[in-house]
Amino acid sequence: GQQLNQSPQSMFIQEGEDVSMNCTSSSIFNTWLWYKQDPGEGPVLLIALYKAGELTSNGRLTAQFGITRKDSFLNISASIPSDVGIYFCAGLSSNTGKLIFGQGTTLQVKP
């Protein structure tokens, strides 16, 4: 079946550093979503992207819908301890109309 490859699997960074993560696939997607999951909670939507090339920001977070429609990127600038959590990408398949989740990127921030 369709898969999303999310990388890196985990990151351990110093407070104040910038963070980048991405999701790639061999399939084309119509929508890209980025979620954050805090420990013990459900995922919460951060950013939604609907057009190839679209660049959208939400505070210190910036996400881009890849030109090929097969990938997406999330950047976090000037990380703070509350950025800790698991970040998931999700793509809405143009073939099946189904939402597929990446495996998640676990972020840890050292104060």
Partner 1 sequence: NAGVTQTPKFQVLKTGQSMTLQCAQDMNHNSMYWYRQDPGMGLRLIYYSASEGTTDKGEVPNGYNVSRLNKREFSLRLESAAPSQTSVYFCASSESTTGTATNEKLFFGSGTQLSVL
Residues in contact with partner 1 by CB under 8 A are 1, 4, 6, 9, 30-31, 33, 40-45, 48, 88, 90, 92, 97-99, 101-104
CB of 43 to partner 1, least distance (A): 5
Q: Which is nearer to partner 1, 77 or 106 (CB)?
A: 106
CB 53 within 8 A of CB 44: no
Which is nearer to partner 1, 27 or 77 (by Cβ)? 27
Please report how close the Cβ of residue 38 comes to partner 1 at its closest, in angstroms.
10
**Nearest approach, Cβ of 108 to partner 1 (angstroms)?**
16
CA distances from 27 to 78, 95, 108, 109 (A): 32, 8, 30, 32
Shortest Å, Cβ 103 to partner 1: 5
The secondary structure of residue 15, as a DSSP letter, is T
CB atoms within 10 A of CB 17: 13
CA distances from 83 to 6, 39, 57, 79, 94 (A): 18, 11, 15, 6, 31
Angle at CA of residue 96, ends 2 and 93, nearest 5°: 60
**Shorter beta-carbon distance to partner 1: residue 40 or 59:** 40
Tell me whether residue 14 or residue 26 sits nearer to partner 1 (CB atom).
26
